[in-house]
Structure 1
């Protein structure tokens, strides 16, 4: 039963929301535009805010639903966060889209908000603050991932937000934090070169060249 629901979580995560919405409703393959990524940010940029919001919500709830699955169907013996992790892996390496997917941010956010909502809100504040200061989604994702790596170790030690250590949760967050950073290596390079894409608001404190 556990293996079956892990497979379901992966398949759920594998639904390529941005790719399918672009192809069905806009007759566009997101891989041929912008960054070539099929996630939320490129969808916003290429297909517009309405499509971007829909893709974000779909990707977000893939992570949430994967965490809820073992709770709804009373699957015991494995932490729900592991099912969320399988959804994130499905989103990043989707079997329905040649194993070429998004960068794990939206689905990871959905997973966290369902499993540990206060901690998820803390990282959302980190992401939002960084986005306002820098106008860069990719950098905001990397900063939030870095904070996740640091705080999942620090917070339980001081009993703040995370009251105690949960080994599985800690390992999953450490893995996903590093994973998100690695997935953004090309973005980090563009940020260093002052040519990363910007959102149309915020302070742009890194002084990227506006296109």
Structure 2
């Protein structure tokens, strides 16, 4: 089992290392998202650079990078705590992609994808938390922070067995957003529809 866990950990990291934003931008002839806009290779920045279709492709691809290795590991009978480590590996691949000079994104969509195997009810609650926050305040980063902060609570209410793995993911995503937290505190963060501004 130990060898299988290590194999899936490495597989998840390599899946995460496929930078969807960079690949999609190259296919659509858009600027490198690591060097343009906010500099973050994620769906929000790609939306600002190229519009809805490229952004949707990036979003779906980033979600699948988390879902596929975690669901496969679940299918192989790996225990919840190790599923959490495998999910973190996928996110670390997104944050530090070996194929793209270790310059990655915030891993919100990948973390969301890693939580999908827990159930659609959890996914719906996370989307609702993000959407309501963005609708009220206009900040994508704040929506992500609220959603991941509530994720362990939602998981405890739905499938308590996976609370610790989800909490591990939440802590990683919150740490990754430390710059966004600072900008939100100082009211310097740009809103999701501000195409002319560069921070994300």
Q: Distance between the aligned counterparts of 1:193 and 1:129, measured in 2?
A: 22
Q: Which one has more relative contact order, counting CA pairs under 8 Å at least 6 apart?
A: 2
Q: CA RMSD in A?
A: 2.2
Q: Could you say if the C-alpha distance between residues 5 and 124 of structure 1 is closer, same or farther in structure 2, counting changes exceeding 3 Å?
A: same
Deviation at 1:24, TM superposition (A): 3.7
**1:161: which partner in 2?**
158
Deviation at 1:83, TM superposition (A): 2.9
Contact 2:84 2:168 in 1 (8 A): no
**2:90: which partner in 1?**
87
Contact 1:5 1:83 in 2 (8 A): yes
**2:188: which partner in 1?**
195
Q: Distance between the aligned counterparts of 1:81 and 1:175, measured in 2?
A: 7
Map of 1:37-48 to 2, 5 A cutoff? 37-48=40-51
**2:148: which partner in 1?**
145
**2:77: which partner in 1?**
76
Map of 1:83-162 to 2, 5 A cutoff? 83-149=86-152, 151=153, 156=156, 160-162=157-159
Which segment is superposed worse, 2-11 or 33-42?
Answer: 2-11
Q: Could you say if the C-alpha distance between residues 173 and 85 of structure 1 is closer, same or farther in structure 2, counting changes exceeding 3 Å?
A: same
Q: Establish whether residue 178 from structure 1 lines up as the match of residue 171 from structure 2.
A: yes
Count of aligned positions: 191
User: Gapped runs of 5+ residues in structure 2?
Assistant: none
Q: TM-score, normalised by structure 2?
A: 0.84
> Quick check: which has more Rg, 1 or 2?
1
Deviation at 1:92, TM superposition (A): 1.5
Deviation at 1:27, TM superposition (A): 4.6
Q: Distance between the aligned counterparts of 1:53 and 1:77, measured in 2?
A: 31
Deviation at 1:175, TM superposition (A): 2.0
Which segment is superposed worse, 30-39 or 115-124?
Answer: 115-124
Q: Distance between the aligned counterparts of 2:45 and 2:180, measured in 1?
A: 13
Q: Deviations over 1:26-67 (max 9, x none)?
A: 252111112111111111111221111100000011111112
SS in structure 2 of the partner of residue 6 of structure 1: helix
**1:10: which partner in 2?**
13
Contact 1:70 1:76 in 2 (8 A): yes
Q: TM-score, normalised by structure 1?
A: 0.80
SS in structure 1 of the partner of residue 34 of structure 2: helix
Deviation at 1:193, TM superposition (A): 2.8
| Structure 1 residue ranges, 4+ long, deviating more than 6 angstroms after superposition | none
Contact 2:24 2:57 in 1 (8 A): no
Q: Of the candidates 61, 65, 72, which is equivalent to residue 62 of structure 1?
A: 65
User: Gapped runs of 5+ residues in structure 1?
Assistant: 202-209
